[in-house]
Amino acid sequence: MTKKRGFFYGYIIVLASFFSTAVMWGTLYSFGIFFEPVLTEFGWTRAATSAAYSFCILLSAFVSIVTGRLTDRFGPRLVMTVCGLSLGLGYLLMSLVSAIWQLYVFYGLLIGIGMSGAYVPLLSTVGRWFRSNRGMMTGLASAGVGVGSIIIPPMVGRLISVYQWRTSYIIIGIIALVLVILAAQFLKRDPSQLGQLPYGAGEAKESKLNSEAGSFSFQEAMHTRQFWLLCALFACNLLPLSAVVVHIVIHATGLGIFAASAAYIMAFMGGGGIIGRIVLAGVGDRLGNKSAMIIGFIVMAAALLWVMVTKEMWTLYLFGAAFGFASHGLIAVMPPMIAELFGLGSLGVLLGIVNAGGAIGEGTGPVLAGRIFDITGSYQWAFLICAALSIIAIILASLLRPTHKKGLIQNIN
């Protein structure tokens, strides 16, 4: 019988996941920084250009169903190594783009495959290492998104100002290739590989329903209303998030703000995201993940209504911080919510399916916002639609109820 002793390797899992998410999401969220120089060089429409990001997101989400299942079976090390290779190669090839189809292949296809490892394999792995404080540890691991958003988009803005956008893609391609593959080598599927137990295993408060024996299978979860509500809630979060990530910087420059200063909106989003991932995950541990979701969507709706009327730089930074708090915090709440409702046995693939459902919204956001601007010359209607979705999500979250399996009930607080 294995025993938990000595240093708990789960903390290395959290650190490696934090590092990976920082690099992968930080480079992805730099798309909006490249947006204007690419538009300037090629003269493509905002809808057509942002469609590459949408394709990337949609593909990554559906491929994450596969990477989630592969992680469940074989562990995250191999999965993340392959994803790091595809991600880095995609960014390197972006330096050679000369036609829009290449944008879709290099960014949409290769980077999309790489990004399929940036959420499901990492956070489902963290979930396997922790029983107690799972929400907090998931929040800490995914807080790398915020750190990456603080560091990488402003860095890319400076790189573009010095080296132009093509050379900047080469630099971030090398960074992604080396660092993601390096971090992958520290990942292990579960504590049993090192003769350890999950953190908190055996504690009195641990429920049988959290064990694999009490878990829902993939097919069982798909037949519950709660599962599809989670897909819809994720879409309501990711559609506004992707629309803002792609268009907020160019929206700010359209208000007369310098591009280098506008890039720091992403940094404030990242800072708010760090706080949101930790705070909302902690709220989920203490008050329940349902309550954390409702709080997150209330903050998101308020932020999106705020950005419709604000025009000054400092107010856009405030928007970035509040919006990042909500949108990134909601992402961190999702894995422990799935584990709470359906157990751990199929956590990777279930998280992959929910992620794919959310990606329908995430892929729609950039193209929708771009098309609205192409038609109206403004992002106002796009922000209003995103705010309305956040309000709808508050209602949907309130409808979540406990799941039932073989006479057992898995609770939502």
Confidence of residue 323 (pLDDT cuts 50, 70, 90): very high
Mean pLDDT value of segment 304-330: 90
Q: Exposure string (b/e) for 190-201, b if CB count within 10 Å is 16 or more?
A: bbeeeebbbbbb
Q: What is the predicted pLDDT for the residue at 398?
A: 86
Range of the domain at 158: 10-200+208-403
Q: What is the predicted pLDDT for the residue at 211?
A: 46
pLDDT of residue 208 exceeding 50, the answer is no
The whole-angstrom separation of Cα 15 and Cα 369 is 35
Confidence (pTM): 0.74
Residue at 147 is within a domain: yes
Confidence of residue 218 (pLDDT cuts 50, 70, 90): low
Region at 224 (left for phi over 0; alpha for psi -120 to 50; beta for the rest): beta
Q: What is the predicted pLDDT for the residue at 130?
A: 80
The whole-angstrom separation of Cα 107 and Cα 192 is 37
Q: Exposure string (b/e) for 357-380, b if CB count within 10 Å is 16 or more?
A: bbbbbbbbbbbbbbbbbeeeeebe
**Residue 247 · residue 307 · CB < 8 Å:** no
Confidence of residue 407 (pLDDT cuts 50, 70, 90): very low
Any idea what the Cα angle at residue 287 is, between residues 285 and 293, rounded to 5°? 85
Number of domains in the chain: 1
Residue at 2 is within a domain: no
Nearest to 15 by CA among 122, 160, 152, 155: 122
Phi (first) and psi of residue 408, to 5 degrees: -100, 155
pLDDT of residue 360 exceeding 50, the answer is yes
Confidence of residue 409 (pLDDT cuts 50, 70, 90): very low
Confidence of residue 240 (pLDDT cuts 50, 70, 90): very high
Q: What percentage of the chain reaches a pLDDT higher than 90?
A: 33
Q: DSSP characters for 112-151?
A: HHHHTTTTHHHHHHHHHHBSTTHHHHHHHHHTHHHHHHHH
Q: Which amino acid is at 278?
A: I
Q: What is the predicted pLDDT for the residue at 88?
A: 95
Q: What is the predicted pLDDT for the residue at 346?
A: 66
The whole-angstrom separation of Cα 231 and Cα 354 is 5
Residue at 5 is within a domain: no
Residue at 75 is within a domain: yes
Confidence of residue 212 (pLDDT cuts 50, 70, 90): very low
pLDDT of residue 199 exceeding 80, the answer is no
Residue at 24 is within a domain: yes
Q: What is the predicted pLDDT for the residue at 344?
A: 63
pLDDT, averaged across the chain: 84
pLDDT of residue 390 exceeding 90, the answer is yes
Q: What is the predicted pLDDT for the residue at 258?
A: 82
Q: What is the pLDDT of residues 252-299, one digit of tens each?
A: 888 888 877 888 888 898 888 888 878 887 787 788 788 888 999 999
The whole-angstrom separation of Cα 120 and Cα 350 is 9
**Residue 230 · residue 352 · CB < 8 Å:** no
pLDDT of residue 204 exceeding 80, the answer is no
pLDDT of residue 302 exceeding 90, the answer is yes
Q: What is the CA radius of gyration of the chain?
A: 20
Confidence of residue 47 (pLDDT cuts 50, 70, 90): confident
Q: What is the predicted pLDDT for the residue at 73?
A: 81
Q: What is the predicted pLDDT for the residue at 1?
A: 40
Confidence of residue 203 (pLDDT cuts 50, 70, 90): low
Q: What is the predicted pLDDT for the residue at 270?
A: 83
Cα 383 from chain centroid?
Answer: 20
Question: Residue 218 is part of a domain; what is its CATH number?
Answer: 1.20.1250.20
Token pair recorded at residue 330: 């909601």
**Residue 138 · residue 336 · CB < 8 Å:** yes
Q: What is the predicted pLDDT for the residue at 209?
A: 40
Confidence of residue 202 (pLDDT cuts 50, 70, 90): low
pLDDT of residue 61 exceeding 70, the answer is yes
Confidence of residue 410 (pLDDT cuts 50, 70, 90): low
Residue at 1 is within a domain: no
pLDDT of residue 108 exceeding 80, the answer is yes
Mean pLDDT value of segment 365-391: 92
Neighbours of 248 (CB within 10 A): 23
Q: Which amino acid is at 3?
A: K
Residue at 390 is within a domain: yes
Any idea what the Cα angle at residue 245 is, between residues 294 and 290, rounded to 5°? 15
pLDDT of residue 242 exceeding 70, the answer is yes
